[in-house]
Amino acid sequence: MAEPTDTRHDEVPDLSLSEGEEEEDDEEQWQWMEEEADGVSVSCLFCQRSLNSVPETFQHCQADHGVSILQLVKAHRLDDYGYIKMINYIRTVKCSGETLAVFDGAVPWDSDEFMKPALPDDPLLQIDLEELVGAELVVDAAASGQDEALLQRARQAEERAARSEEALARAMEDLQNLKVLAQGLVLNAGRPGPSCSGAIAELREDEDEAYFSSYGHYGIHEEMLKDKVRTESYRDFICGNPDVFKDKVVLDVGCGTGILSMFAARAGARKVIAVDQSEIIYQAMDIVRSNQLENTITLIKGRIEDVNLPVEKVDIIISEWMGYFLLFESMLDSVIFARDMYLAEGGSVYPNSCNISLAAVGDTEKHCDRIAFWDDVYGFKMECMKKAVVPEAVVEVLKPETVISEPAVIQTLDCNAVTTSELEFTADFTLKMTASTHCTAVVGYFDIFFDRGSANKVMFSTSPHCTKTHWKQTVFLLENPIPVQSGDELPGRITVRKNRKDPRALLVTLNLADWRQTYSLQ
């Protein structure tokens, strides 16, 4: 897995709203619906009628069919994914309003198959759910009295602050992309090559191209193969459980050099299908032939979502999909797709489970070097640079003695059951302190388990207390250290979500005590 680039961002304008702007924003939140999709033909969810806008469609559904889409969103606590699935479900099965009213608890649209639009270019799928719900809340507040309205406005102000943080992170990312482009143009000035317009067009290409290209170079595969914790864990599980693999059909998602495929073949697999989109697949073909395994291993170049496998179902899926902080790079999405598409009943994905943990860090020396440094730079104040430095998560090997709390598991994933929507989550946690010092950061790491249906169970951890891996640890620096005493319990909340502009990157929001910060991992 590639190292993240060491980026530095310029300061960006403050995106927060003044008090007057907040009042204006409250009054205008409902207006977005009147302006949304002007002149667009929107098909009703329950009849053949076409309406002129999304708001008109919602009003028609409520007036003529007795169904309030907004109430359904609130009643089932739907996020963006849940809303999209619900709309596609209604259009696909053509259910009635009476049918929707009986669902209490589990809903029938909680399946990734309903992420596929039932109606091409459906305007109902192109709205901002956050704004949709927020708009209704403003109206509800006005109807229920001044006190409730004031409370609701306070909640909306908090939501706007959160959106402003996310907008700030996106703006910083855009600045970095422009800086990289500018540096490339300067470095290539005077050399034969593409024009400026060609370089700009290059930035607009499919984001996956750069991702897969990074895995085409041998260097990243050398780093992963030399990571003994990683590679030997896979080897020990696969080769140590021949009864699991004997005569099975195995799918290797993101096979790289083919090392996992060859372990599976050595363990007795009848057939192994190895898929990878990067150019390394051609070296993998040579490697497989060199080891006389071409009759067992079939290699296919392409994204698992796009290729056609030579079999309908497989017995086992193996993959080394983990990224920094476990979910960086979003490769688990591809494994889930492969599982849902190809895994036979009774089959298994390996590794079969994993978790993410957090712990407190007390390293005042490093905090001074990276954060307090900007208070006085050769006699000049540069505190504004902290706004660019703090929001970037740092991937590094942490000294175990700097960990000052017990770990707290914030998420556990069952790779045989998890859905893509569950890869974005919010979790509350408590860090119990083991030292009296200052908390200067929070560290994140993950544990991996191979133990489903096997006699020889294997696991490994990327904890600071364990042998280092190429994943290292992910560190979230605090702008201001928090004094703590041994035995204290520091409450917090974490939200992990994909960056909408780059779904392979992550945005992580930490609330710790009375402090809040959104970090980017890219």
Which residues are annotated as catalytic?
Answer: 320, 329
Q: Which helix H or strand E contains 172, and what residues bound it?
A: helix 146-187
DSSP conformation letters of 249-297? EEEEET-TTSHHHHHHHHTT-SEEEEEE-STHHHHHHHHHHHTT-TTTE
- Strand 394-396 and strand 473-484: the pairing is antiparallel
Question: What CA–CA distances, in Å, run from 323 to 11, 249, 349, 408?
Answer: 28, 26, 17, 20
Strands 473-484 and 437-450: antiparallel
Beta strands in 259-407 (DSSP E): 271-276, 297-301, 314-318, 343-350, 353-361, 394-396
Cβ atoms of 304 and 337 within 8 Å: the answer is: yes
Please check whether residue 316 is in contact with residue 347, taking contact to mean a CB–CB distance below 8 angstroms: yes
Pairing state of beta strands 515-521 and 394-396? Answer: unpaired
Label residue 500 exposed, middle or buried (CB < 10 Å: 0-12, 13-18, 19+). Answer: exposed
C-alpha Rg value of the chain to the nearest Å: 26
Q: Tokens in use for 361? A: 């860090």
Q: Helices 259-266 and 280-290, interaxial angle, to 10°?
A: 30
Q: Using CA atoms, how far apart are residues 479 and 370, in angstroms rounded to an integer?
A: 10
What is the pairing mode between strands 314-318 and 343-350?
parallel
Pairing of strands 408-414, 353-361: antiparallel
- Tell me how crowded residue 81 is: count the other CB atoms within 10 A of its CB: 18
